[in-house]
Structure 1
Amino acid sequence: MTEPPERPDRGPQAPGQVEIQQKLAAALAGLVPDDPSIPPHPYLRRHLAQHAAQGHVLDDTHVPPALLPWETSAAVRRLLAAGESSPLRQQWLQAWAKLEPFTRNLSPLSRLASLQLAHHAATARHLPPEQRGTPPEPFAGSPVTPLWSDCASAENLWALTDPAVTSLTSLTPRGPRRTLVVAGDDHGAVRLLRPDGTAAAAPLPLHQGAVTQLLPLADGLVVTAGTDGRVTVLDAHRARPIRQIHHRERAWVSSLIRHEQSAYASTLLAAYDDGHIAAFDAATFQPVDIPLPVLESAPVLLQSTRLPGRAAPPAPGGGAPAQDGDAVVPGPRPRGTPVLLFAQHDTVGCFDGRTTTRCSRHPAAVRALLAPPDGSGRYVVALEDGSLALHDAAAPHPRLAPPTGTGPGTTQATALRVVEVENRQTLASASADGTVRLWELPALRPLHQALPGHSAPATALTSVTRDGHTRLYSAGLDCTIRAWPLSAAALHDPPRVWTPITVSALSPPPMRLLATAEETRTKVWNIETGAERLVHEGDSPTALAWVPLGTRLLLAAGMSDSSVALWDLTERGPVSTVRELTGHYSPALCLVPMVDDSTALLAGGGADGRVLVWDLSTGQTVHSFSQHVLSVRCLASVHSRYGFLLASGGSDGNVRIWDLRRHSRAADDGHRPDPITIRCEQHAVNDVAFFPLDNGGLRLATAGQDGSLKVWSVREEEQDGEEREQDPGPRPEERSRDRSYDGADLVREFNPGDGELTAVTRFTAGRGRTLFAVAGRTGIHLWDATVDRPLLQAVTGYPVNTLKMAPQRASESAAPVLLATGEAGTMILRLDDKRL
């Protein structure tokens, strides 16, 4: 048994062959060790899933969960997609398929933890609360145990890209050549992808800016254009550029189409952000001189269509666009007249090669323009205010044309495409909220539910039809491409659209309360019982923090009116507002309490660049720091041996450390000490965390926009020895109270290679090891700073923006608990450091 089985997509198999494959799959499944930490035989890792698929038994029994952390075929997603309507039990396989693109270079331990998290996220909400923290067999030995999951999983992931994709198209040739999806990214490269999402060739660097336009032609040719003003022709099947056909300096290409104008050969039109349009012969790519409309100096959107009957009347002045007050003179055009539609600002115009006519004017700027390929003369506009409208270029319109359909509320459509759904032309729209929506044409009524595509704005759409089945592909700024089968069965029950979680906070013991904010609702969950409590509705907080104040437990929330509300959640019943803290000019982005036996303070940092500290007993502002140039993104505090220290990190790339004891004393004598300033050189600083050492030293960790985690040693100030001998000064205990910190030195750096790092926290493991948890673009990374060694990567499939270790009781020796929140939801994990 050394040869791999035949791929299941190479035609039907005889019934006897299917039965043989079933027996093979069953026998091989029995050879998989029950313990997922034990590696199975290499043949099982590579080929068991394919045997099960060929035997039509691709399920969790024939491909046991213990095999998946070692599975190396990277084909589980493709095998599952080939049997989309399978009634087999595939919970573990489906969970693995959503993670498969992220796990190519992970260790088996990381794969094990990631699989467990994905399975828990998909099944936890269907389990009673008492079973949610119990790891299923065979995962009892995993170093990560999910205690709570209320989050979306990575749905319909087709390909993972880095950097983000900004344009998409597809090639479906006849003959032996295979279908390709072509993707342009924001670094100027073009990627060629096979139908299973794998790369058909290395990325082709064609531009010096984002690739914004892709236009497929015959014989596998693709015309590309971008923000560098260049227009280039690519032979996609041979994966090689042919030549650059145009370059307009200091301009970017806003639209690229193929257009047939009466009495002229088929041409390519490239429109620029300065209103210029360049024309080329579609066969020879040579510049051609054809009549074109005269446009304003503004970005242009182009579409080509035909007018089936009498067109809108021309405006006087030949090619000049119609202006307010111009007379409108009717005139016939022959049936099937090719016309050029163009949009600038809030207006769509029509040019037939001789005259320019205004077709429609809108209450907001036009962000996307699409003419369906049915030759009806209709066109769809997506407006900046989030609405969609369908218009007819052959019919006269008033100057302010009302929309004939409404779009996705206030969510702006970023891309439009016409696709086939059950043999009907349907409009697909990608949105700034990351979702994909389908609309019935021509009524523009929504079809089915929104598809929860991306955790960041969607950027492009394309579609592929093969063997009568259509798939829609969407790209997003989350660096993923997702594939959606457009069949009635697949669209009948689409994945849930999750409300993005903006912020969260986990309470200190003895209660285990999780506070989350989403859109206009703030809720508190008891993670041990599953009970849910609505705290506030009507305004979504921008920051949350729990404040234990004596016998009361308060929840602090930064509100949109720039105030900070304090809610008392000690008792059941109506939530009462204890007080409101004011002083910020913009909403607080981060909050951190500083409470001990003699101090009750709350610090807040905002987009106004200021850090404010309030006395919770009076509600008064006791400190106001404004040294940050831009937004304050993160705060952290620690109770050092000299009193409370407060660290703030911001968009200016600096961290500042404030000694609150010194500042309180300086308020009496009028001298205000300067903070310690650390220039982190990480672009923006997204998160910061203190941690004291057993020897009394102090460390600080910073998570940067450049993808690095840096650990700094905070220096204590030193007094000159000769000066100390001449003037011994106060007694030792007084000198201790006067001393503080005066700088920081870089001691460690960690680069997990997972994009921008958004959050960091730490805990002390056995044998005194300092472990960090840091959030990247696709998952959570655990790093041992003591020996500078990566330990684990838990894939989430979406960015995480909050990581916090749950406070433990002083007597607790249990494993640490980690809160992880991203836009797609919240997870609470228990970490077993003895297994790391």
Structure 2
Amino acid sequence: MTPAPQPDSPADIHRRIAHRLTGLADTADGVPPHPYVRRHLAQHADLGHVLDDATLPAAFLPWDTDGKLRGRLGLPSTPGDDQTAVAAWAEIEPFLHDADHRTRQVSLDFALATRAAPPRARTAVWPRHARWQTPNNVVVDAGAVLTSLALFRSPDGRPHLAAGGRDGVLVVDPAQGAQVGEPLRVEGGVRAVVAFTAPEGRPLLATGGRDGVVRIWDPLTGAETGEPLHGHEGAVSTMVAFTAPEGRPLLATGGRDGVVRIWDPLNSTEVGERLQSHKFEVRAVAAFQGLGGRPLLATGGRDGVVRIWDPLTGAEASAPLHGPGGYASTMAAFNGPEDGPLLATGGRDGVVRVWDPLAGRHVGELMHGYEGAVLALVALPGPQGRPLLATGGRDKVVRVWDPLKTGAGASWPGHKAGVRAVAVFDGPDGRPLLATGGGDEVVRIWDPLTGGEAGAPLRSADGVVQAVAVFDGPDGRPLLATGGSDGVVRIWDPLTGSAVGQLLHTHGSSAAAVVSFGGPESRPLLAVGHLNGVVRVWDPRTASEICEPVRGPRSTVAVLVAFAGPGDQPLLATGGEDGAVRVWNPLTGDPVGRPLSTPESAVRAMAAFDGPDGRPLLATGGSDGVVRIWDPLTGEAAGPPLQGHQDSVAAVVAFGGPGGRPLLASGSKDRSVRVWDLDGGQCLLRIVTASPIHALLPVKGNRTGASGLLVGATAGFAFVDVAMPER
């Protein structure tokens, strides 16, 4: 008797559906697949355990409307060799928002190029070389600075994150990588948020703000419940929930007054002893269980010390924790591999550190290169009960990390804190070399044709490298000038890795911009812009100043460019926080013309280029996300504003497109690069990169009709060819 066929498992059924849908997704170029395919292919592939490049090919991914691929891969993701395109898409997915199909397609091309993956047949971006590491753990782009995170469970038991910021509280599902419901609007914004459970099992949220008041909310209805808790003098900076020995929920809140207060949130009363924990503001607090299950609190303040307390007696329970990284802006407790408590702290340097609070020792570091301070931190359960950490901060995104993998991110063979400045120069045999400066106080030299480092790192132990410029030394060899946060301009031989000089500096004022240009008799000169508003012009060969320091109105000098004026007279343009661009004669220090003013926007980027009639023009990028074109000799706008970026513009460069077409590229903190047609002000191309952009540099393209572009970002740098559309 023939045995009855075994019924297919649900996974088998979904796998077959996914493979059939993959066939339907293969449409003619530019023709979208059926809406069901776009919406559900990724879901069937996930349920069928075939979430790979064969089932979700690169040609389909820009059409996907599921929007949850990053959650389906798992956060943080550990993609396999057959998931290159899928993983690339998952990393840019949180930042695409309402991007059109071409933007989604080009952004995937760029993400694949940074992995040196084979490009699509009809790609717009070709890889040349990259040292690029984007986060693989972003849950959601909140669009606002996040100051606090809390974990709670919905009635069906699913974990949710409540993210507090200037606009209120946003609820997200970390497993799906998606926002849940509408944001909870809190007047004045939220500095701290924590979740706890009412006796009947209902989740509640407590928020603290600038007014020093703690409020209790129902996150499922958005309604305030109970009486507000008053007591802090000044803002509530941090809070944590813990359970008293008899089982009732308690809150510990810390504020600007340096005091930690203990509350019964259900009775709206203060209980226990106040902890006079720190001399200054209490910035972080976490709760964990000590020996015998007794609740303990860890507090961190601006004094840089983490203290351990017994909240029921008000006494310190162990020695304070001291370590690297300055003060803790946020902290969270979780159980380690042997169920002992561990403490994670995040700070202004963008590093999450892990501690053993009972032993009083530093265990390791979780990550480097975070864009801005880590302001929010919470522990949540991961697969098989493994602890995870969610972080939020000034980069406006929520990320998920595995805290037991300390040291993650430290092995990348590039800058640990992103690329802030780039320059190109000729090597000994005429081949181009790259110099990149980062927040890790190192300048690295790269061969973009081989991908390897082409020299020893140039280490500046006293300051973050913020600017790099190239000029010719006395023997014609290229030299580098670097500007640091310590105010010093250092001169290096990039081919030997040795320092060959140091210019005088402005004590206490960062050297934010450095540019080289030709002076009389073609000798190289350097102009250095400092954050105290001073510009100094140097002869680097003699280490002497050319003229008296240029001092404008009381404003920073954040950007600086050199260009040729009438009669090839060298001119300098400076821009800063006051929104004005000023033009100077660098040989005399005299102002030229009247300032170009954008009073509602600081100037964060600038480039000089020749207009159609040969007259010099300036492009400026502002903190308002707008790129403006100016005639620096008349002080008038030379074209319409170029609008589209959603955050500060950090880099602008002009270059020639096909047929000499004048183009401009801009890079922004909104994680995108845009290419503009200067003739009509049209945005020709938008690339979403998943990393804030800091620097752009045009280079010669290797392909017909393509322009080369070097992109420097928090993620590293990428050297690509970009195909531009014909007129």
Same fold (TM over 0.5): yes
Give a deviation string over 1:329-349, Cα, whole Å, max 9, x none.
xxxxxxxxx655441317xxx
Aligned to 2:575: 649
Aligned to 1:533: 455
Aligned CA distance change for structure 1 residues 379 and 246 (closer, same or farther; 3 Å): closer
Match of 2:284 among 343, 368, 379: 368
Instruction: State which structure, 1 or 2, has the greater radius of gyration over its C-alpha atoms.
Output: 1
Distance (whole Å) between structure 1 residues aligned to residue 310 and residue 231 of structure 2? 33
Aligned to 1:790: 683
Match of 1:516 among 436, 448, 461: 436
The answer to whether the 8 A contact 1:258-1:282 is kept is: no
Q: Give 1:368 deviation, angstroms.
A: 3.1
The answer to whether the 8 A contact 2:538-2:545 is kept is: yes
1:780 matches 2:697: no
Gaps of 5+ in 2: 1-5
The answer to whether the 8 A contact 2:572-2:585 is kept is: yes
The answer to whether the 8 A contact 2:27-2:33 is kept is: no
Aligned CA distance change for structure 1 residues 504 and 259 (closer, same or farther; 3 Å): closer
The answer to whether the 8 A contact 1:99-1:154 is kept is: no
| Total equivalences in the alignment | 699
Aligned CA distance change for structure 1 residues 166 and 712 (closer, same or farther; 3 Å): same
Aligned CA distance change for structure 1 residues 438 and 402 (closer, same or farther; 3 Å): closer
State the Cα RMSD in Å: 3.9
Aligned to 1:420: 335
1:152 matches 2:133: yes
Q: Secondary structure at the match of 1:834?
A: coil
Match of 1:191 among 151, 170, 192: 170
Q: Give 1:102 deviation, angstroms.
A: 0.8
- Larger deviation, residues 752-761 vs 590-599: 590-599
Q: Secondary structure at the match of 1:758?
A: strand
Aligned to 1:821: 712
The answer to whether the 8 A contact 2:354-2:362 is kept is: yes
Residue correspondence of structure 1 range 670-685 to structure 2 within 5 A: 672-673=590-591, 675-685=593-603
The answer to whether the 8 A contact 1:68-1:96 is kept is: yes
Give a deviation string over 1:380-423, Cα, whole Å, max 9, x none.
34465756565678999999x854x554x234322221223446
Q: Give 1:580 deviation, angstroms.
A: 3.5
Match of 1:581 among 503, 510, 528: 503
Distance (whole Å) between structure 1 residues aligned to residue 679 and residue 406 of structure 2? 50
Match of 1:202 among 179, 182, 193: 182
Give a deviation string over 1:215-263, Cα, whole Å, max 9, x none.
4342222121201334333211123344772578983223546689999
Aligned CA distance change for structure 1 residues 690 and 673 (closer, same or farther; 3 Å): closer
Give a deviation string over 1:22-41, Cα, whole Å, max 9, x none.
23333333444488755444
Give a deviation string over 1:362-391, Cα, whole Å, max 9, x none.
xxx864343414543644344657565656
Residue correspondence of structure 1 range 575-614 to structure 2 within 5 A: 575=498, 577=500, 579-582=501-504, 584-585=506-507, 586-595=509-518, 598-614=522-538
Q: Secondary structure at the match of 1:28?
A: helix
- Larger deviation, residues 264-273 vs 191-200: 264-273
Aligned to 1:251: 234
Residue correspondence of structure 1 range 13-32 to structure 2 within 5 A: 15-32=8-25
Aligned CA distance change for structure 1 residues 604 and 38 (closer, same or farther; 3 Å): farther
Distance (whole Å) between structure 2 residues aligned to residue 154 and residue 478 of structure 1? 12
- Larger deviation, residues 164-173 vs 194-203: 194-203
Name the aligned partner's letter for residue 475 of structure 1: G
Distance (whole Å) between structure 1 residues aligned to residue 7 and residue 423 of structure 2? 57
Aligned to 1:181: 161
Aligned to 1:564: 489
Distance (whole Å) between structure 1 residues aligned to residue 630 and residue 491 of structure 2? 33
Match of 1:46 among 39, 43, 46: 39
Q: Give 1:165 deviation, angstroms.
A: 1.0
Give a deviation string over 1:164-192, Cα, whole Å, max 9, x none.
1111112125x5364331111123x1112
Aligned to 1:110: 103
1:165 matches 2:146: yes
1:438 matches 2:354: yes
Q: Secondary structure at the match of 1:99?
A: helix
Aligned to 1:238: 221
Match of 2:560 among 635, 638, 658: 635
Q: Give 1:445 deviation, angstroms.
A: 4.6
Q: Secondary structure at the match of 1:534?
A: coil
Q: Secondary structure at the match of 1:567?
A: strand
The answer to whether the 8 A contact 1:508-1:806 is kept is: no
1:343 matches 2:325: no
Distance (whole Å) between structure 1 residues aligned to residue 75 and residue 309 of structure 2? 39
Residue correspondence of structure 1 range 167-566 to structure 2 within 5 A: 167-173=148-154, 175-176=155-156, 178-187=158-167, 189-195=168-174, 196-218=176-198, 219-242=202-225, 245=228, 251-256=234-239, 272-274=255-257, 282-283=265-266, 285=268, 288=269, 341-345=275-279, 367-374=283-290, 375-376=293-294, 378-382=296-300, 384=302, 388=306, 390=308, 403=320, 406-407=322-323, 409-422=324-337, 424=339, 425-440=341-356, 442-447=358-363, 450-452=366-368, 454-465=370-381, 469=385, 470-485=387-402, 496=411, 499-501=416-418, 503-508=420-425, 510-518=430-438, 519-529=440-450, 530-539=452-461, 540=463, 541-548=465-472, 551-559=476-484, 562-566=487-491
Aligned CA distance change for structure 1 residues 692 and 243 (closer, same or farther; 3 Å): farther
Distance (whole Å) between structure 1 residues aligned to residue 75 and residue 166 of structure 2? 32
Aligned CA distance change for structure 1 residues 380 and 146 (closer, same or farther; 3 Å): same
Aligned to 1:141: 122
Distance (whole Å) between structure 2 residues aligned to residue 645 and residue 527 of structure 1? 32
- Larger deviation, residues 742-751 vs 155-164: 742-751
Aligned CA distance change for structure 1 residues 452 and 614 (closer, same or farther; 3 Å): closer
Aligned CA distance change for structure 1 residues 448 and 118 (closer, same or farther; 3 Å): farther
Q: Give 1:533 deviation, angstroms.
A: 0.8
Q: Secondary structure at the match of 2:652?
A: strand
Q: Give 1:648 deviation, angstroms.
A: 0.5
Aligned to 2:3: none
Q: Secondary structure at the match of 1:794?
A: strand
Name the aligned partner's letter for residue 160 of structure 1: D
Distance (whole Å) between structure 2 residues aligned to residue 85 and residue 826 of structure 1? 22
Q: Give 1:483 deviation, angstroms.
A: 1.5
Aligned CA distance change for structure 1 residues 180 and 16 (closer, same or farther; 3 Å): closer
Aligned CA distance change for structure 1 residues 411 and 611 (closer, same or farther; 3 Å): same
Name the aligned partner's letter for residue 198 of structure 1: A
Name the aligned partner's letter for residue 512 of structure 1: P
Distance (whole Å) between structure 2 residues aligned to residue 261 and residue 18 of structure 1? 45
Q: Secondary structure at the match of 1:787?
A: coil
Name the aligned partner's letter for residue 478 of structure 1: D
Q: Give 1:747 deviation, angstroms.
A: 3.0
Aligned CA distance change for structure 1 residues 119 and 444 (closer, same or farther; 3 Å): farther
The answer to whether the 8 A contact 1:503-1:544 is kept is: no
Q: Give 1:458 deviation, angstroms.
A: 0.9
Q: Secondary structure at the match of 2:372?
A: coil
Aligned CA distance change for structure 1 residues 257 and 627 (closer, same or farther; 3 Å): same
Distance (whole Å) between structure 1 residues aligned to residue 637 and residue 264 of structure 2? 62
Distance (whole Å) between structure 2 residues aligned to residue 638 and residue 154 of structure 1? 38
The answer to whether the 8 A contact 1:748-1:785 is kept is: no
Distance (whole Å) between structure 1 residues aligned to residue 131 and residue 230 of structure 2? 50
Distance (whole Å) between structure 1 residues aligned to residue 359 and residue 66 of structure 2? 45
